Every structure is written in structure tokens, then in C-alpha cells.
């Protein structure tokens, strides 16, 4: 698809950082407020899709390699499974929450009512939230880029 | 009307009777057995260290289902990228 | 009967989706019907776990009397967590269906279901 006019491009340049910050906020605070990995990843991926619509798929696919997006997604999946395997090594069970009981990093119990942003709280959940968030962003953005480029060609060279 | 349309209309009416009868019989607002959810809500803050019951169910009490969901997402992305592999620039 | 409105909405959504899948000719409309059926099923899963006069099962920002009376006035959290998985599965299936439709259109040149069945090579 071709690019859109200058007004649309300028406005999407302005609003793109706000959408990404909001998406990362929803991912990072998954254990205190409603949200988490999948929801925040969907918000951030729709911000990236807005840039794709504003600049045209030919422009975007010249500058982004699909193999690197694929590597990002595999990195997210490996982080998720690696955290589960660490639970098996340290605790004795698959998916064990080994950072809450005897932990170094994230082992404070939060209080009820108004919590500010007690980020030091949930054990393994914060690492898992980030891994799944990266996986969802990379996966959805790769699907949208490939489908937008393939539908804009007149004929497919085999 | 072809034979396919008549069979479709009959299936539609039979399913309509079943679905509407079920929708009027379920009580809304009184779930029947709640022992598992009561245990999870009572013990979330002490055992897991989070404030949100839904996130611990997704990642801690039922983390195995989330593993299957991540596999489905990975399979869908790799399937779409494989279908468009011959489309070159 | 007026209190069962969410369940009646679920039945209406499933029937609209089922009508679109059975009686329409365009392939894209059939895919839209499948997506409507999935939305109806997700709504049914969520409304199964509603407790009368309940709040969100999250302890951040909960008023004091709700937190003291803990599992009595909170909505069941397990169906909400499983609906999340169902939504992601719906997105994955929709992406694969749309890619297959693009290939079908490039090969046959038409989007009519009855003609796609009859062109044999």
C-alpha cells in the first residue's frame, strides 16, 4: 500500500511514543493492576501497526528484516520456558515460584488498598510478563507486515 | 429451494430450540461451586506476592495452559510466514 | 426472564454468526461469521462467573470492607483467566484463515464459494 498524506504522517509520529509508553506500562504493572503480558503486547503492537498504515508497507519492508523479528519472538519464548525450567532446578517442580519464598530479587508481599508502585513484589511473574510481552509484539507485528506487503503486489513472482 | 438450504433451515430451528431453552434456565449471578476460587482469592497475597488474582491464575496456578497458548501463537506466526515465503521483493 | 439478558445476548450472537456461516456466499463474510461465533463463546465464559454485587478480584485499591469480607463479594477469577487464552487462540486462527483466503483469490480470481468448489483442473 502507498503512503498517506503529510498530516497523517506527522500526527502518527507525535502519538507513537505515547502509545508505546502506555503499552509498556500495562505490561510492567501486570501484577498490581488489570493487564499483563498479552494485553499490553496487543496495545503496543497496534501502535506499531498504526505506523505501518501511515508510512506504507513498501517503505517499512525495506527497512525491517523479517528474520530479526522472528529472532525476537523466539527470544521471548525461550525466556518464558527458561524461567519455568529454573523453577524445576531450584525448587523441585516445573513452574515453581522460586523467587517468592527464598528470594533475592522480587520477594516483598504487597499490602491491600492503595499501593503506589511496589515493583519489587511478585516473584517470577514480572520476568514472565516481559517475555510474553516481547513475544506478542514481535509476532503480531510480523504477521501484519507480511500480509500488508503481500496484498499490495499485482502478481506474485514464484 | 435446494436440498442444502432445507437441511440448513432444519438444523437452524433445532439448535434454536435447544439454545433458547438453556439460556433461560441458567441462574445469573449465583455460581454453584466456588471452593477453588475462594481458596485462590484467600491465599493469593501470601503465597504469590501479587495483588491481582487473575494474573497469578494465568502465570502461576495454571501456568501450563499459558505454555500451550504461547505454543499456539508461535505456530500461527510461523505458519503465516511460511505461506508467504515465495513472495520476493 | 429479564435478569438473564447476558445469556440471551450470547444466544443472539451465536445465531447471527451461524446464519452468516450457513447462508452467505462470500468467503470473507463466512470468516467474519466465524469470528462473531468466537466472540459469543468468550462472552458466555465470562458471564458464567458473576457473583451478585461483586467487584473485581484485585486487591489494589479495594475498599476496606470488601477486602475484609474477602471471597464473599468478589467475582470468580478463573473463567476470566481462561477467556484470555481463548481470545488469543481466536486471533491465531483468524490470521491463518485470512492468509489462506489471499492464496485462494490469487489462484481462482473469484471469492464466490460455489465457484471455487466447481473449478477443477
Q: What is chain B's length?
A: 89
For residue C60, the chain B residue with the least C-alpha distance is B51
pLDDT band at B26 (very low <50, low <70, confident <90, very high): confident
Contacts of B73 in chain C (CB under 8 A): 88, 92
Stated as kind and residue range, the H or E segment containing B70 is helix B63-83
Written as tens digits, the pLDDT of chain A (158 aa) is: 788 999 999 999 999 999 999 999 999 988 888 989 999 999 999 999 999 999 998 899 999 999 999 999 999 999 999 999 888 888 778 888 877 777 667 767 766 666 666 777 777 888 899 999 999 999 999 999 999 999 888 777 66
Other beta carbons within 10 angstroms of residue A2's beta carbon come to 9
* Chain A residues lying within 8 Å of B52, measured CB to CB: 30-34
The answer to whether the Cβ–Cβ distance between B83 and C100 falls below 8 Å is yes
C18 contacts C37 by C-beta, under 8 angstroms: yes
What pLDDT is stored for residue B25 in this prediction? 86
Average pLDDT over residues B3-19: 89
Query: How far is it, in rounded angstroms, from Cα A158 to Cα A15?
Result: 39
Which residues of chain C are modeled with pLDDT < 50? none
Which of C50, C51, C46 lies closest to C86 in space, CA to CA?
A: C46
In a domain, A77, yes or no: yes
Which residues of B lie closer than 8 Å to C, measured between beta carbons?
5, 8, 11-12, 15-16, 19-20, 23-24, 26, 28-31, 34, 36-38, 40-42, 44-45, 51-54, 57-58, 62, 65-66, 68-69, 72-73, 75-77, 79-80, 83-84
Is residue A140 a contact partner of residue A38, using CB atoms and an 8 Å limit?
no
Take residue C100 and report the three cell numbers written for it. 489462506
Name the residue of chain A whose CA is nearest to C109's CA. Answer: A155
Q: Name, of A43-52, A100-109, B16-25, B34-43, the range with top average pLDDT.
A: A43-52
Give the per-residue pLDDT at A90: 82
Indicate whether A157 belongs to any domain: no
Query: How many domains in chain A?
Result: 1
Contact between A66 and A16 (Cβ < 8 Å): no
Among chain C residues, the shortest Cα distance to B79 is held by C96
Domain at C2-52+72-118: CATH architecture: Orthogonal Bundle (1.10)
A34 contact residues in B (CB cutoff 8 A): 52, 54
Whether residue A61 lies inside any domain: the answer is yes
Residue C98: what pLDDT?
Answer: 95
**A113 SS3 class:** strand
Q: Tell me, yes or no, whether A105 lies in a domain.
A: yes
Q: What share of residues in chain A are helix, strand, coil (percent, to 5)?
A: 65, 0, 35
Nearest to B58 among C7, C84, C89 (CB): C84
Give domain status of residue A81, yes or no: yes
Are A103 and A10 a contacting pair, CB within 8 Å? no
Cα separations (Å) of A115 from A31, B37, B51, C110?
12, 24, 9, 58
Of A40, A46, A38, B35, the residue nearest C81 (C-alpha) = A38
User: Is residue A32 included in any domain, yes or no?
Assistant: yes
ipTM of the complex: 0.86
Count of CB atoms situated within 10 Å of the CB of C120? 4
Q: What is the pLDDT of residue A156?
A: 75
Domain edges within chain B: 3-83
Cβ–Cβ gap C88/B54 under 8 Å: no
The pLDDT of residue B72 is 95
The per-residue DSSP string of chain C comes to -GGGHHHHHHHHHHHHHHHHHHH--BHHHHHHHHHHHHHHHHHHHHHTT--TT-B-SB-BT--HHHHHTGGGSB--SHHHHHHHHHHHHHHHHHHHHHHHHHHHHHHHS--BHHHHHH---
pLDDT at A114: 62
Amino acid at each position: 500500500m502507498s503512503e498517506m498524506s503529510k498530516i497523517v504522517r506527522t500526527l502518527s509520529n507525535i502519538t507513537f511514543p505515547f502509545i508505546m509508553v502506555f503499552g509498556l506500562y500495562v505490561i510492567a504493572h501486570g501484577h498490581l493492576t488489570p493487564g499483563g503480558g498479552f494485553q499490553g503486547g496487543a496495545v503496543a503492537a497496534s501502535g506499531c501497526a498504526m505506523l505501518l498504515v501511515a508510512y506504507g508497507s513498501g517503505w517499512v519492508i525495506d527497512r525491517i528484516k523479517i528474520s530479526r523479528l522472528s529472532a525476537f519472538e523466539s527470544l521471548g519464548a525461550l525466556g518464558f520456558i527458561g524461567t519455568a525450567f529454573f523453577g524445576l532446578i531450584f525448587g523441585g517442580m516445573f513452574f515453581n515460584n522460586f523467587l517468592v519464598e527464598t528470594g533475592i530479587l522480587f520477594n516483598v508481599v504487597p499490602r491491600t488498598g492503595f499501593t503506589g508502585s511496589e515493583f519489587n513484589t511478585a516473584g517470577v511473574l514480572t520476568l514472565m510478563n516481559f517475555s510474553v510481552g516481547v513475544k506478542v509484539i514481535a509476532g503480531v507485528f510480523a504477521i501484519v507486515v507480511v500480509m500488508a506487503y503481500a496484498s499490495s503486489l499485482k502478481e506474485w513472482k514464484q | 429451494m435446494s436440498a442444502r438450504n432445507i437441511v440448513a433451515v432444519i438444523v437452524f430451528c433445532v439448535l434454536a430450540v435447544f439454545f433458547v431453552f438453556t439460556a433461560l434456565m441458567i441462574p445469573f449471578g449465583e455460581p454453584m461451586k466456588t471452593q477453588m476460587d475462594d481458596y485462590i482469592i484467600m491465599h493469593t497475597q501470601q503465597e504469590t506476592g501479587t495483588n491481582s488474582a487473575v494474573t497469578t491464575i494465568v502465570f502461576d496456578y495454571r501456568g501450563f495452559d499459558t505454555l500451550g497458548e504461547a505454543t499456539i501463537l508461535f505456530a500461527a506466526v510461523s505458519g503465516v510466514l511460511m505461506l508467504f515465503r515465495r513472495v520476493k521483493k | 426472564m429479564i435478569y438473564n439478558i447476558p445469556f440471551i445476548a450470547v444466544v443472539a450472537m451465536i445465531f447471527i454468526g451461524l446464519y452468516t456461516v450457513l447462508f452467505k456466499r462470500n468467503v470473507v463474510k463466512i470468516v467474519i461469521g466465524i469470528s462473531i461465533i468466537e466472540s459469543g463463546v468468550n462472552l458466555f465464559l465470562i458471564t458464567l462467573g458473576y457473583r451478585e454485587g461483586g467487584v473485581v478480584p484485585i486487591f489494589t485499591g479495594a475498599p476496606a470492607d470488601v477486602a475484609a469480607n474477602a471471597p464473599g463479594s468478589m467475582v470468580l477469577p478463573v473463567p476470566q483467566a481462561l477467556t484470555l487464552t481463548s481470545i488469543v487462540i481466536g486471533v491465531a486462527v483468524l490470521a491463518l484463515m485470512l492468509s489462506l483466503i489471499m492464496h485462494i483469490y490469487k489462484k481462482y480470481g473469484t471469492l464466490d464459494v460455489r465457484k471455487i468448489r466447481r473449478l477443477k483442473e
